[in-house]
Structure 1
Amino acid sequence: MKLPATMCPKPDLARHIDSARLYENEKIVSDAVRDSGVSRSEVFVSSLDAIDDSLKNFGFDYLDLYLVHSPLPGKEKRMAAWRALLAARDAGKIRTVGVSNYGIKHLEQIREAGLEMPAVNQVEIHPLCQQRDIVRWCRENGIAIEAYAPSIRADFSNPVLQDISTKYQRDPPQVLVRWSLQHGFIPLPKSSNPDRIRSNAQVFDFEISEADMKRLDALDRGKAGGISWNPVDAE
């Protein structure tokens, strides 16, 4: 999947691995990167929470992207965390800084404080939960959108999704990832199944028509369509 040029290790490459201490997969990811034979500079690794601990777990000198996981601690702690993240970036520990699950209010507070804006906001995005107001605000302010849970946690029962999948002779997850890409999002599909991981990447040899994109867009239920933790309205 294509990342903004400022976030890519190389302009023509996008091996993006999303990690977090909460997932307990940082050490596994670092081992996989080393065993892959691919240069560290050609793998884009992101993580959440506790920078120094994450760097220790990975055994890396830097991370490409680091995110504040949520806006829940309240404004004072949010702003302190953001300033700390910027300082860590300036110290060379992180290449790019961003946030996750931030609503417009939280992003505006960063701007009003005169601080550098996030490069990324990672939020739940899929046809049932499009969060269009947040997407619109981020695009107007140059913030890339990473879409987590793009495959709706494997709930493929929607008849429109089923019909479009049959039409294009594609698995529902491939249609969902393709929908996300065509909207300019950075989808983060998750799977522990090697066949499914490969399948999720095989989405660049077809395109969903404008009419079928509109059918999927019409499934939007706003935040009510979310199937994950979605604290975008937190104080």
Structure 2
Amino acid sequence: MPLLGFGTWQITGSDAVTATAAALESGYRHLDTATVYGNEAEVGRALAESGVARDDVFVTTKCPPDRAGRERETLEQSLEALRTDHVDLWLIHWTTDSADERRAVWEAFVAAREAGLVRDIGVSNYSPAQIDELVDATGVKPAVNQIKWSPLLYDAGLVRELADREIVLEGYSALRGGTLTDATISGIADRLGRTPAQVIVRWHLQHGFVAIPKSTRPERIAANADVAGFELSDDDMAALDGLGSSRRQ
């Protein structure tokens, strides 16, 4: 699973086609979409027309839990829209209040993996306790937990809990919530001659978190992926980590 992916939330219609195409041209090899985004067909079209081999791109989509009982049908619709016979990662998009429903949906996900329709399965917006509940019920742990994440939300305890369970932390909305205008992030960016978005993406990668920045502007899509030419120092990483701690106090 590439640590850098292209997020497509709120990108629809022709914008989704052109943005996804720009991402693939810029070197992204991980695409993140979802049933509720309403853009799987556009993402699939961009991938099919890109000239990039399907096996070279890691594709994630998500199933809303209100499709309980129709998981297989929902997945088959996603595969048709994406023009592929499998996805690399299928996530439960959010949790519900019903433990029985959470278990039943997860069991359907396990069955889809066993049928070869998905390479791996995971969850989104789940707590460690809810993840443990799934594992206790089925013996199968999620590969990934996709959560809202940025330096401003950094929680070392949560990082440890997911690492202890050998579950990948994937962050979404990293470039929202004031991160691009935060003084600490902007200061590091100015000193390094980089954009705040590049600093945030680089922070994810150095921690081993998966980042899925999104944009509809080709120049920003390319810039967000241009993070290999610099490194954040230990002091920079500590300063960024501290933003989340200070907010929780």
Same-fold status (TM-score > 0.5): yes
The correspondence for 1:89, drawn from 113, 118, 131, is 113
Instruction: Tell me if the contact between 1:15 and 1:43 (Cα under 8 Å) persists in the aligned partners.
Output: yes
Higher helix proportion (structure 1 or 2): 2
Distance 2:195 2:156 in 1: 25
Distance 1:182 1:2 in 2: 13
Q: TM-score, structure 2 length as denominator?
A: 0.81
The correspondence for 1:174, drawn from 198, 215, 223, is 198
In the alignment, what sits opposite 1:233?
none
TM-superposed CA distance for 1:205, in Å, is: 0.8
What is the one-letter code of the residue matched to 1:23? Answer: Y
TM-superposed CA distance for 1:127, in Å, is: 0.7
State how 1:15-30 maps to structure 2 within 5 Å: 15-30=29-44
Q: What secondary structure is seen at the aligned counterpart in 2 of 1:218?
A: helix
What is the one-letter code of the residue matched to 1:101? Answer: N
Count of equivalent residues: 216
Distance 2:83 2:213 in 1: 25
Instruction: Tell me if the contact between 1:88 and 1:94 (Cα under 8 Å) persists in the aligned partners.
Output: yes
Distance 2:134 2:45 in 1: 35
Instruction: Tell me if the contact between 1:99 and 1:120 (Cα under 8 Å) persists in the aligned partners.
Output: yes
In the alignment, what sits opposite 2:158?
134
TM-superposed CA distance for 1:132, in Å, is: 3.0
Distance 1:46 1:57 in 2: 13
For structure 2, the residue ranges without an aligned partner over 5 or more in a row are 4-26, 64-73
Q: What secondary structure is seen at the aligned counterpart in 1 of 2:180?
A: coil
Distance 2:147 2:225 in 1: 20
Deviations 1:91-110 (A, max 9, x none): 11101100001101101101
CA RMSD of aligned residues (A): 2.0
Question: Which stretch of structure 1 is more off in the superposition, 74-83 or 132-141?
Answer: 132-141
Deviations 1:155-189 (A, max 9, x none): 42211111111000001000000011111101011
Distance 1:52 1:209 in 2: 45
In the alignment, what sits opposite 1:115?
139
Question: Relative contact order, CA 8 A, sep 6+: which one is greater?
Answer: 2
Q: TM-score, structure 1 length as denominator?
A: 0.86
Deviations 1:165-223 (A, max 9, x none): 10000010000000111111010111111111100100011001101111111110589
For structure 1, the residue ranges without an aligned partner over 5 or more in a row are 4-12, 226-235
Distance 2:155 2:175 in 1: 15
Distance 1:223 1:89 in 2: 39
State how 1:31-42 maps to structure 2 within 5 Å: 31-42=45-56
Question: Which stretch of structure 1 is more off in the superposition, 198-207 or 112-121?
Answer: 112-121
TM-superposed CA distance for 1:135, in Å, is: 2.0
Distance 2:248 2:118 in 1: 34
In the alignment, what sits opposite 1:230?
none
